[in-house]
Structure 1
Amino acid sequence: MDSLRTGTDVFFVLMGAVMVLAMHAGFAFLEVGTVRRKNQVNALVKILVDFAVSTLSYFFVGYLVAYGVTFFNGANVLIGHGDVPAHVFGKSGYDLVKFFFLLTFAAAIPAIISGGIAERAKFFPQLMATAILVGIVYPTFEGAVWGTRFGFQHWIGATFGYPFHDFAGSIVVHAMGGWIALGAVVTLGARHGRYRADGGMIGIPPSNIPFLALGSWILVVGWFGFNVMSAQSIDGVSGLVAINSLMAMVGGILAALLAGRNDPGFVHNGALAGLVAVCAGSDVMHPVGALATGAIAGAFFVWGFGKCQQKWRIDDVLGVWPLHGLCGLWGGVAAGIFGLKEWGGLGGVGFTAQLIGSLAGVIFALIAGFAVYGILSKTIGIRLSEEEEFVGADIAIHHIGAYPEEDLRG
């Protein structure tokens, strides 16, 4: 029975890893559908290569930072054979698939940032940023929250009565990625031609609405692996997480539909906004609370995207800061509201602990974003030249466009 349970847990976590891995295709197509045609190849290549760099950075450095575990052991040790203490490596390679699962979360950080800095970022400097962020920056906060390292959770619990609760990463993953992206976007500056001299915005429509929608759908489906399988064992799985994810997604869609006046970009991103927000408290909220969390997030995204692009002149191409940054922050706080028993939740969370933990993540991410991209900007440069940006990243970097036959006819 022990062998069966271990094997089942290994398979369960592996399927979660595969589902979240598939979400990276969603990130790619969401970006492909939003950017101009001359930058579509770059979006596809960037997401894939970022994942490869993330894997190496997290395997050799990041996982050690977050959990104090290194993989520099014999294969027999890694799969739990022999006299290996159970707390080091589990049987049947459980900790290996756990690494795979958590890697897909870590690799979401550069995938999120990619959408914000699209169309004007250099390729290899962005890969350097990915290595730093996934190897050091993200694992530091991940370890503080999920690895209970560095005394963060002990301090939160001792000071505010409850530890900081983030079941599936509203703050650890999404807010972290969104607020780092804000630092990156501001450091790069707006795309050439995005704003007029008088401050007015020049509209740049999405290149392909079906691709944008496809990206959203892939992300939505994978998200149920992202949230439900964050339990990381069969014993811990809960149908409450699944139904709360569903309700938050629906709330986000309908709120974005109304607030965005039927705009398809807002509708498809509204689903993602709801799912971002519910991650933190999906295991403790009542489904009605999850619906409210998602609806507020959907409206919040539409409002934030408009303010970001038009009033504050922050050229965040895919709106990753309002989507992941603002909605992620709301999700961390919402867990401390709708997770309370008074609001129909299971309890075990505190509003103040959630607020302080969420703000700590935001501040850490924002400082890291400006620091990493600021240093790279001052040293090796992170922005394409005006001519390269005009030609497009596809030709400037990869020397081929998304539609080569059309280029030949031209």
Structure 2
Amino acid sequence: GYSIAYGVNFFSGAELLAEKNGYELVKFFFLLTFAAAIPAIISGGIAERAKFNPQLIATFVLVGFVYPFFEGIAWNQHYGIQAWIKGLTGEEFHDFAGSIVVHAVGGWIALPAIILLGARRGRYTKEGHIAAHPPSSIPFLALGAWILAVGWFGFNVMSAQTIDKVSGLVAMNSLMAMVGGTLAAWVIGRNDPGFTYNGPLAGLVAVCAGSDLMHPLGALVVGLIAGGLFVYMFTLVQNRWKIDDVLGVWPLHGLCGLWGGLAAGIFGSKVLGGMGGVSFMGQFIGSFIGVGIALVGGILVYGLLKAFLGIRMSHEEEYDGADLSIHRISATPDREPNW
């Protein structure tokens, strides 16, 4: 996938790969963590009922071909699309740390997978009521969210990719967006811990694209809107639309990522205190190109897998739980009498 996005030949000699102190290899390992986010995002939406082996195949195709196709467009000038956007709007599409390239792409790939799989058994009754499926551990939910929040500073700041381009503005904007997302999710989510701990992630997802351009107050507003957007859309998707997105990956990554791509064109402008060098229409076009590629890729990959291999566990496997059915052991000791 990296070769598709950046044209690097890993079968070349070690001497060539080690040029510039092996910078290309360091860049590969850094961007590998971005690519790894794609299957992680998808798995959150399809949890508890997806077959394991078909998901491995989907991961190979999506990370190896679909994701790097748009990554090359956005970050490596492939196919002349950035030049076309600049000629049309005056500025290229800007995504500093992956609001669209990583998060929106992952979230919008996940949406067709979630719909094709269908809801977990018993999630919705025949009368249309919702059966509660509470998190297995709120403390672990909180721990995971805050580990992500801390690690995100490296994710965003080092998207500069060279030490001389590292900017404290990126770190400050990441913090402000995280604060905004937390506050909005806490208030609008009425102190629900599931919303509160996802709030900072919503803000961070949204600020990735323009974290190097925005004024910190602009980043705060971006985070506030992202936190509220996540809570509102998660509730709407689960309660009204009956789409069983287990962890809310489409609202969190797909929609907040899309908002972040658009927000970079708003709050990155000099009129609102930003650094400039970005246009809203350029962001709009680039963002929806990414969403379109993700949707088509998700529909094709999961549609074909469903048709030829099946992507959902059997009724019995789902009843026993994915941990027991796939990995032959429970995740919690209360279901393991031998522990």
TM-score (normalizing by structure 1)? 0.81
CA displacement at 1:232 relative to structure 2: 0.3
Distance 1:345 1:384, change over 3 A: same
- 1:314 corresponds in structure 2 to 243
- 2:105 corresponds in structure 1 to 176
- Structure 2 residue 221 is the aligned partner of structure 1 residue 282: no
**Match of residue 137, structure 2, among 176, 187, 208:** 208
- 1:269 corresponds in structure 2 to 198
The amino acid that maps onto 1:65 is I
The amino acid that maps onto 1:63 is Y
Distance 1:403 1:200, change over 3 A: closer
Could you report, residue by residue, the CA deviation over 1:382-402 in whole angstroms, capped at 9, with x for unpaired residues?
Answer: 110011000011111111112
- 2:264 corresponds in structure 1 to 335
Aligned partner of residue 190 in structure 2, secondary structure: coil
Measure, in 1, the Cα distance between the counterparts of 2:204 and 2:66: 24
- Unpaired runs of at least 5, structure 1: 1-61, 81-90
- 1:75 corresponds in structure 2 to 14
Deviates more, 1:290-299 or 1:193-202: 193-202
CA displacement at 1:183 relative to structure 2: 1.0
- Structure 2 residue 62 is the aligned partner of structure 1 residue 133: yes
- 1:305 corresponds in structure 2 to 234
Contact map agreement 1:248 1:278 (CA 8 A) in 2: yes
CA displacement at 1:203 relative to structure 2: 1.3
- Structure 2 residue 189 is the aligned partner of structure 1 residue 260: yes
Distance 1:274 1:202, change over 3 A: same
- 2:2 corresponds in structure 1 to 63
Q: How many residues align?
A: 339
Could you report, residue by residue, the CA deviation over 1:143-179 in whole angstroms, capped at 9, with x for unpaired residues?
Answer: 0000111111011101111100000000000000000
CA displacement at 1:363 relative to structure 2: 1.5
CA displacement at 1:195 relative to structure 2: 0.4
Contact map agreement 1:63 1:70 (CA 8 A) in 2: no
Contact map agreement 1:129 1:373 (CA 8 A) in 2: yes
Measure, in 1, the Cα distance between the counterparts of 2:74 and 2:323: 39
The amino acid that maps onto 2:144 is G
Measure, in 2, the Cα distance between the counterparts of 1:346 and 1:229: 19
TM-score (normalizing by structure 2)? 0.98
Deviates more, 1:140-149 or 1:355-364: 355-364
The amino acid that maps onto 2:209 is A
Distance 1:248 1:405, change over 3 A: closer
Measure, in 2, the Cα distance between the counterparts of 1:364 and 1:143: 12
- 2:151 corresponds in structure 1 to 222
Measure, in 1, the Cα distance between the counterparts of 2:311 and 2:238: 21
Measure, in 2, the Cα distance between the counterparts of 1:247 and 1:95: 32
Could you report, residue by residue, the CA deviation over 1:360-385 in whole angstroms, capped at 9, with x for unpaired residues?
Answer: 11111111111110100101111100
Could you report, residue by residue, the CA deviation over 1:244-288 in whole angstroms, capped at 9, with x for unpaired residues?
Answer: 000000000000001000000101100000000000000000000
- Structure 2 residue 113 is the aligned partner of structure 1 residue 113: no
CA displacement at 1:404 relative to structure 2: 4.7
The amino acid that maps onto 1:396 is S
Percent sequence identity over aligned pairs: 68
Aligned-residue Cα RMSD (Å) equals 1.1
CA displacement at 1:405 relative to structure 2: 7.1
Measure, in 1, the Cα distance between the counterparts of 2:132 and 2:334: 28
CA displacement at 1:403 relative to structure 2: 3.4
Could you report, residue by residue, the CA deviation over 1:338-358 in whole angstroms, capped at 9, with x for unpaired residues?
Answer: 000000001000011111111
- Structure 2 residue 337 is the aligned partner of structure 1 residue 408: yes
Contact map agreement 1:277 1:294 (CA 8 A) in 2: yes
Could you report, residue by residue, the CA deviation over 1:271-329 in whole angstroms, capped at 9, with x for unpaired residues?
Answer: 00000000000000000000000000000000010011011111000000000000000
CA displacement at 1:409 relative to structure 2: 5.8
Aligned partner of residue 78 in structure 2, secondary structure: coil
Runs of 4+ residues deviating >6 angstroms: none
Measure, in 1, the Cα distance between the counterparts of 2:335 and 2:305: 36
- Unpaired runs of at least 5, structure 2: none
The amino acid that maps onto 1:251 is G
The amino acid that maps onto 1:132 is V
